[in-house]
A and B are shown apart, each in its own frame.
Chain A
C-alpha cells in the first residue's frame, strides 16, 4: 500500500510540471500586464510605462521563468504586489470559502445522488425510477450559473429568504455563513448530483442482479440489509470513482458559482487575477488547484484500492 501511494505521489510531479509549464506558456501569450490595473481607466501611456518599469515587467520572460522555478524549489510561490501579500497567503485566505463550498456541494450531491440512485435501482422500471432519472438528467442538462441566477431571483429577490450573494466568515457569524452558503451549495449539488445518481443506479442494478444477492434474498434476508450491507458496499467502487471525478469538476464549478454569488474564493481570485494580469497569483493559484486536484484523485485511488484490492496490483 505504501509503495502504491509513493508511486502515485511520484507520478504527480510530472503532472504539476506540465501545469506550471502551461501557465508560463499562457502568460507569455497574454497581452498586457498589471500596469493597466494599477493605472486605472484614466492612465496615460507614460504612466503605464512608469508602472511597468517599477514592477520589472520589462524583463524578458525566460529570466522571470528561471527566477520563478528557483523560488519554487525553495517553497516560495511568489508575491503579489496588487494584493500586497504572498501568493500562499492570498490563496490560503480564500480556501476557507472554496473548500467548504466544494466539500458541502460534494457531500450534498453524493447524498442526493446515491439516494436517488438507490431508489431508482430498487424500484427498477417503476415511475419512481423514471422520475428519479429524469431529475438526474435535468440536473445534468441545466447550466449551473443559470440555475444559480434562477435561485437568486426566487429565494433572494422574490421570497427574500436568503441573501443574494456576498460572504460572511463563519467565525464572525455562523448563521450568516450558513445563509450565504445555502444557495451556492444547492446550485453546485443539484448540477452535480445527476452523474452520481446515474452511476449509483447502474452499479446497484448490476450488483442486485448478481447471484449472492439473489441468494441472500432467497434466504429471506431483510430488504434493507441486502441493499445497504451487501449491494451498496459492492456498488461503491464505481460510485467512488465518479465522486472523485466530480470533486475535480467541482473546482471548476466553484469558479462559476463564486462569480454568480459574489463569493471571495480561490476561483474568483484566479479569474480576477487573470483579468488584472496578476501573474504571480495566476501561476501560484493554478499550481495549488492542480495540487488539490492531484491529491483528491490520489485519495480516490487509495480509497479505490482499499475497496477493491485487485486495483493495487493492476497498476
Chain B
C-alpha cells in the first residue's frame, strides 16, 4: 500500500492547492484506475487464483447443499449405523446411521456461514474500535487496554466460558470468535489509520472543511482498508478451524445441525472403529482453510505488501 498511498498523497497535495472539487474528481479517477489494475494483478497471481477457486467451490457446495446432498443429513437410521464408505454412502455413516457425505455438505454450509458472520462482525467492530482509538485520541488508551485485556484471554477458554454462559449455539460461537478476533483486527485498523492520518491529503481535506464523518469514511478508512481485508481473509480461515475446535470441545452449534466441527466431534469416540466420521470433515476443513490462506497470501502480496506474512 505504501507506494500507492504516497502517489495518492502527491495528487491530493496538488489538488488541494487548486480546489476541493477537482481534488475529488482526480481522486475518483485514480481510484478507478487502481481498482482495474488491482483486479488484473489478482487474477494473474497463482496462489490467489487457486485459493479463490477453492473458496468458490466451497461457496457453491454450501449454497447447493440441499440439491447435491444424496440424503437428508439429519435422518437417523438404526440399521445403518457406523457403515464404512461404500457406493451407497461415499463417506460412510455415523453412530446415528446418518450419511456423512450429506452432513459434510450441509456442514460446510453452517461452517462457512458461521465464519462469514465472524468476518462481518469482526470487520465492523474492529473498524469501529480501531478508528475510535486512533481518531479520538483520548479514548485510545482505554480502548486499547480493554482490547489488550481481551487478547490476554486464551481464545479457546474465553469461548468455552461464553458458551457455558450463553448455552452452546451458532450465535455463541460467532460471539466468542468475534470477541477473540476483534482486538487484533482493531489493532490493524488503528495502525493503518494512524499512518494515513498524518498524510497531507487528509490535512488538506480537513483544511477545506470536510466533516469528521466524511474524512473518516472517504479518506482514512479507504486507506486502512487493504490491511483490513487481508486480515479478515485470515480471520475467515482461522474461524473455520476455531469453530471445529469449539465443537470438538462440546460448545459448537447444538444437534442435530451438522457443522464440520461437530461431525468430527461426533466421530471422536469412534476414531478407531469408524475413522471416516472424523477424517473426512477434517480433510475438508484443511482444504477450505488452505484455500483461504492461499487467497490471503495472494491478496497481501498484491494490495498490502508491507504486511507480508504477518498475522
Contact = CB atoms under 8 A, between A and B. Distances in A.
Given A19-B149, A140-B293, A146-B278, A201 B309 contact: yes
B179 to A, nearest CB: 9
B271 interface: yes
A19 B183 CA distance: 14
Nearest to A196: B309
Interface string B281-311: 0100111011001100100000000001111
Interface in A123-172: 137-138, 140-146, 149-150, 152-153, 157
B293 to A, nearest CB: 6
B72 interface: no
B290 A282 contact: no
B160 A18 contact: no
Contacts of A75: none
B304 to A, nearest CB: 13
A255 interface: yes
A290 B282 contact: no
Contact of A30 (B145, B150, B161, B272): B161
B249 A259 contact: yes
B271 A149 contact: yes
B166 A248 contact: no
Nearest to A238: B310
A3 B193 CA distance: 28
B154 interface: yes
Contacts of A275: 164
A157 B294 CA distance: 34
Interface string A280-291: 001000100110
A121 to B, nearest CB: 11
B157 A18 contact: no
A31 B268 CA distance: 27
The secondary structure that dominates the B interface is: helix
Given A143-B244, A202-B309, A137 B157 contact: no
Given A17-B149, A18-B150, A137-B293, A195 B311 contact: yes
B162 interface: yes
Interface residues of A, number: 54
A293 interface: yes
A153 B148 contact: no
A111 interface: no
Contact residue range for chain B?
A: 35 or more
Contacts of A242: 310-311
A22 interface: yes
B290 A137 contact: yes
B244 A290 contact: no
B249 A274 contact: no
Interface in B230-284: 237, 241, 244-245, 248-249, 264, 268, 271-272, 275, 278-279, 282
B310 A199 contact: yes
A202 B308 CA distance: 7
Contacts of A17: 149
A144 B241 CA distance: 9
Contacts of B287: 141
Given A22-B153, A146-B282, A289-B154, A15 B272 contact: no
A251 interface: yes
Nearest to A142: B286
B155 interface: yes
Nearest to A198: B309
Interface in B151-180: 151-158, 160-162, 164-166
Interface string A229-262: 0000000001001100100100110011001000
Given A195-B311, A256-B245, A293-B154, 8 more contacts: A14-B145, A23-B161, A137-B293, A140-B293, A143-B286, A144-B245, A274-B160, A274-B161
Interface of A: 11, 14-19, 22-23, 26, 29-31, 137-138, 140-146, 149-150, 152-153, 157, 195, 198-199, 201-203, 238, 241-242, 245, 248, 251-252, 255-256, 259, 267, 270-271, 274-275, 282, 286, 289-290, 293-294
Interface of B: 145-146, 148-158, 160-162, 164-166, 237, 241, 244-245, 248-249, 264, 268, 271-272, 275, 278-279, 282, 285-287, 289-290, 293-294, 297, 308-311
Q: Which 10 A/B pairs are nearest by Cβ-Cβ distance?
A: A18-B149, A29-B165, A141-B289, A146-B282, A290-B152, A252-B154, A202-B309, A141-B290, A198-B309, A14-B145
